[in-house]
């Protein structure tokens, strides 16, 4: 070395580790029976347990344990047979107990790993730990002028916290990881991952170090990241700031920053000096959480295929494009429906087109949920068969799909009842063509004068006369022949 660097930025590398809080999709809170439904009137979902009234005792919700274990197992973690709840002591207005029940020294699971895709290839991150904890309430600053209001409905909602090792090396990589993690959590059905409602929140830790240096640099923690684009933007800004400090000979101060998504800016929340000493100690009112070997085995056996693997399979074994595979797998219910129809022998590409196009449009208009899949795979397969063999036209297929989703009956009955069969009888088609030409002498003259794009106009006229039943391919051939003759 020895040379003074011309481009100091090039010599620093970025190190990022994330802590992700995920609200578990349970009906009730972690240690009491209050509802977890979002959006209820403030402080209407509270009881002595989550308010921390003296003498109230927590009781662990087993549904939450099941979901947390599922998330941890899917992240390749080792599930611990025994984990311990602890009290994390601090005071904050949205924490009426004065402590948060969390897992500290003996977490639910450790030592996982997770792979995801980057434009340049595969990315991977080690998962340090996955533990369970309760959420805090919410301070609301914009409801009462000049005062802060407190809503404790969220206090006690079950969370898993997923902590990565500092393995990520760019804001883009952090973003790609979070996107794939969200897909996984949705596929597992452990959380609704609704970021607007705060079901998935990220803290990002970031430091820089000279390339080749083994020890990590001093890290800064960024809190309050509620969107993935926010994570990426905040990290970019912080890299710029740290780069400037370091390359002008300064030192990074260990601190916690708050991201302001509206202003797109970071501000200091507290320095190391003000950092809390949480005085963790084991929660005296809860026994250790014991997972039996058979429970652990069952959780592992019931894991669904990871979205990344599913996308690969859709591309490799079913011949879908990367785009189609991505769209289907992003919506687990849609992917399930796709697989069910394909397993009946329908061509995958056709099924994908119909589901991603007309089906999604129609299901969306009707406000249908996609899991479980709202259409009989047998009926969808039959619809594709009827279109494929020319019994009905593609246009009629869409109408049939709408009727199927409306619960009007089965495909064959509906085709019969509504006269959807495609008409290919030459004499009948010729008849509609002649009457279309006769009724539009002006257009016919213009066509004969060279305006050949009017072919489409006459196509439309014929299709109208046939009430959509004419075979469009055949009509086009006959029309072209008639008009050129």
Q: Least Å distance between CB 166 and ligand ADP?
A: 4
Give the nearer residue to ligand ADP in terms of CB position, either 19 or 350: 19
Q: Which residues bind ligand ADP (CB under 6 A)?
A: 15-19, 163-166, 205-207, 216-217, 219
Q: Least Å distance between CB 204 and ligand ADP?
A: 8
| Residue pointed to by tokens 């597992």 | 188
- The residue among 157, 128, 137 whose CA lies nearest residue 63 is 157
Give the nearer residue to ligand ADP in terms of CB position, either 102 or 207: 207
Give the nearer residue to ligand ADP in terms of CB position, either 199 or 207: 207
Q: Least Å distance between CB 177 and ligand ADP?
A: 12
Give the nearer residue to ligand ADP in terms of CB position, either 54 or 214: 214
d(C-alpha 7, C-alpha 187), whole Å: 44
d(C-alpha 458, C-alpha 475), whole Å: 10
Q: Least Å distance between CB 243 and ligand ADP?
A: 14
d(C-alpha 289, C-alpha 60), whole Å: 9
d(C-alpha 101, C-alpha 135), whole Å: 9
Q: Least Å distance between CB 126 and ligand ADP?
A: 9
Q: At what angle do helices 322-330 and 171-188 cross, to 10 degrees?
A: 60
- The residue among 140, 206, 158, 117 whose CA lies nearest residue 21 is 158
Identify each DSSP E strand in 379-419 by its residue range.
Answer: none
Distances (CA, A) of 236 to 165, 206, 466: 19, 10, 60
Q: Least Å distance between CB 25 and ligand ADP?
A: 24
d(C-alpha 110, C-alpha 77), whole Å: 5
Q: At what angle do helices 426-439 and 472-484 cross, to 10 degrees?
A: 60
CA-angle at 299, arms to 295 and 303, nearest 5°: 170
Q: Least Å distance between CB 159 and ligand ADP?
A: 16
Give the nearer residue to ligand ADP in terms of CB position, either 228 or 338: 228
Q: Least Å distance between CB 353 and ligand ADP?
A: 42
Give the nearer residue to ligand ADP in terms of CB position, either 273 or 438: 273
Give the nearer residue to ligand ADP in terms of CB position, either 164 or 346: 164
User: How many CA atoms lie less than 13 Å away from 137 in the CB half-sphere?
Assistant: 26
Q: Least Å distance between CB 146 and ligand ADP?
A: 35
Give the nearer residue to ligand ADP in terms of CB position, either 170 or 376: 170
Contact 49, 56 (CB under 8 A): yes
DSSP codes, 264-321: TEEEEEEESTT------EE-TTSPPEE--HHHHHHHHHTPPPPHHHHHHHHHHTT---
- Which single residue brings its beta carbon nearest to ligand ADP? 17
Give the nearer residue to ligand ADP in terms of CB position, either 256 or 436: 256
Give the nearer residue to ligand ADP in terms of CB position, either 92 or 323: 92
Contact 318, 351 (CB under 8 A): no
Q: Least Å distance between CB 236 and ligand ADP?
A: 15
CA-angle at 123, arms to 122 and 128, nearest 5°: 145
């Amino acid at each position: 070395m020895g040379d003074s660097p011309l481009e100091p930025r090039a010599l620093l590398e970025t190190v990022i580790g994330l802590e992700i809080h995920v609200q578990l999709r349970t009906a009730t809170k972690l240690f009491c029976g209050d509802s977890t439904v979002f959006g209820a009137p403030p402080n209407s979902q509270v009881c002595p347990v989550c308010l921390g009234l003296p003498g109230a005792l927590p009781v662990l919700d087993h549904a939450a344990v099941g979901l947390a274990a599922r998330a941890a197992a899917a992240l390749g973690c080792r599930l611990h047979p025994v984990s311990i709840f602890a009290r994390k002591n601090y005071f904050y207005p949205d924490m009426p107990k004065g402590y948060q029940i969390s897992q500290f020294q003996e977490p639910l699971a450790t030592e996982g790993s997770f792979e995801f895709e980057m434009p340049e290839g595969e990315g991977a991150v080690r998962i340090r730990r996955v533990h369970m904890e309760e959420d805090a309430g919410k301070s609301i600053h914009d409801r009462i002028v000049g005062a802060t209001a407190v809503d404790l409905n969220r206090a006690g909602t079950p969370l898993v916290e997923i902590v990565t090792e500092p393995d990520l090396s760019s804001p883009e990589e952090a973003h790609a990881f979070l996107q794939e993690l969200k897909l996984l959590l949705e596929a597992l059905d452990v959380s609704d991952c609704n970021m607007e409602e705060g079901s998935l929140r990220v803290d990002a830790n970031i430091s820089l170090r000279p390339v080749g240096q083994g020890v990590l640099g001093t890290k800064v923690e960024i809190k309050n990241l509620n969107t993935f684009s926010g994570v990426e933007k905040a990290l970019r800004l912080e890299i710029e700031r740290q780069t400037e400090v370091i390359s002008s000979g300064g030192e990074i101060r260990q601190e916690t920053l708050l991201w302001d998504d509206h202003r797109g800016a970071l501000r200091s929340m507290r320095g190391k000096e003000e950092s809390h000493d949480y005085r963790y100690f084991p929660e005296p009112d809860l026994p250790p959480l014991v997972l039996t070997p058979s429970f652990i085995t069952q959780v592992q056996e019931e894991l669904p295929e990871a979205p990344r693997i599913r996308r690969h399979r859709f591309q490799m074994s079913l011949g879908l494009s990367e785009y189609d595979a991505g769209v289907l797998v992003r919506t687990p219910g849609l992917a399930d429906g796709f697989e069910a129809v394909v397993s009946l022998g329908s061509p995958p590409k056709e099924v994908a087109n119909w589901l991603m196009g007309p089906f999604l449009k129609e299901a969306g208009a009707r406000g249908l949920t996609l899991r479980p899949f709202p259409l009989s795979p047998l009926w969808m397969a039959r619809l594709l068969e009827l279109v494929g063999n020319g019994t009905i036209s593609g246009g009629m297929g869409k109408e049939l799909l709408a009727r199927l989703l409306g619960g009007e009956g089965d495909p064959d009955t509906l085709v019969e009842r509504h006269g959807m069969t495609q008409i290919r009888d030459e004499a009948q088609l010729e008849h509609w063509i002649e009457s279309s030409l006769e009724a539009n002498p002006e257009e016919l003259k213009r066509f004969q004068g060279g305006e050949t794009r009017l072919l489409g106009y006459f196509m439309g006229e014929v299709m109208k006369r046939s009430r959509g039943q004419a075979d469009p391919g055949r009509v086009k051939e006959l029309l072209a022949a008639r008009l050129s003759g």
